[in-house]
Amino acid sequence: MTTPDYTFEQAAQARGFTAIAGVDEVGRGPLAGPVVAAAVILDPKNIPAGLNDSKKLTAKKRDALYDAIMDAADVSLAQASVSEIDEYNILRASHIAMVRAVAGLARPADHVLIDGNLVPHGLTISHETIIKGDGRSLSIAAASVIAKVWRDRHMVDLAQQYPGYGWEKNAGYPTTAHKAGLENLGVTPHHRRSFKPVHNILYQE
C-alpha cells in the first residue's frame, strides 16, 4: 500500500517555490450540506506522522491529525453553500470552495498541488493537478483530513437542528436512513435541490 510522501513538494521547491499548498475538497456526493475545501501549507520540519488520504483513516485518527495539522501548518478552510451548489453545479461549487481556501491562507501560497485532474477556474497562481493526490502528496492528504473532519463536525451540528436524517452518521450522503428521512420529513434548507433524490421529492406530483 502506497502512502503519501513529500516528493511533489520537494520537486516544486527545487523549481524555486517556497510556499506550497495542498488543496482538496470533500462533500461532492451528499444530498445536503455545503461542499468544503481546505488548503494546507505544511512545515517540512514538522509534518504530523500518519498522514494519509482521509478515507483511509479512522475517525479517531482523523480527529487527532486534524488537531496536529492545525497546530503545525498554515491552514485555510472554505466552503461553497447549498445555494451555490444549486446555482452553478457541484463541480463548479467545489472549485469555488478550493479557490476560496487558497485565497484564505494567512501565508500566501506560490504553488498549489490540486487533488484530481481539473484546475479550478479562477486559480491564478502556479499549480499542478495530481490524480489521487490525497494518497500521493502529504500536503493534499493533510487538506483532505482538514476538510473531511470540519465538514463531518458541521453536519453533526446541523443534525441537531434537523433530526431524523441521520446526518450525524451519514454526513449528508444518500444512505437509506437519509432517504427515508427525506420521504417522511421532507426537504430542509440544507438540502441540495438540484440533486435528483431531493428534486424528485420536491416535484413529485
pLDDT digit string, tens, across residues 112-146: 999 999 999 999 999 999 999 999 999 999 999 99
Share of the chain above pLDDT 70, in %: 99
Euclidean distance between CA atoms 175 and 2, whole angstroms:
30
Q: Is residue 189 part of a domain?
A: no
Q: Is residue 1 part of a domain?
A: no
What would the mean pLDDT of 71-80 be, rounded to a whole number? Answer: 98
Q: Is residue 146 part of a domain?
A: yes
Euclidean distance between CA atoms 182 and 32, whole angstroms:
11
Look at residue 37 and give its three-state secondary structure. Answer: strand
What would the mean pLDDT of 73-83 be, rounded to a whole number? Answer: 98
Q: Is residue 201 part of a domain?
A: no
Average pLDDT, the chain: 96
Euclidean distance between CA atoms 14 and 115, whole angstroms:
21
Residue 197, C-alpha cell as written in the block:
433524490
Q: Is residue 118 part of a domain?
A: yes
Q: Is residue 76 part of a domain?
A: yes
pLDDT band at residue 1 using 50, 70 and 90 as cut-offs: low
pLDDT band at residue 203 using 50, 70 and 90 as cut-offs: confident
Domain extent, residue 130, equals 7-151
Q: Is residue 174 part of a domain?
A: no
Q: Is residue 88 part of a domain?
A: yes
pLDDT at 138: 98
Please report, for the domain that includes residue 31, its CATH number.
3.30.420.10
How many domains does the structure of the chain reveal?
1
pLDDT at 135: 96
DSSP E strand boundaries for 19-140: 20-26, 35-41, 74-80, 111-115, 126-130
Query: Measuring CA to CA, which residue among 101, 42, 50, 103 is closest to residue 73?
Result: 42
- Cβ distance 39 to 172 under 8 Å? no
Checking if the pLDDT of 65 tops 90, the result is: yes
What would the mean pLDDT of 17-29 be, rounded to a whole number? Answer: 98
The answer to whether the pTM exceeds 0.75 is: yes
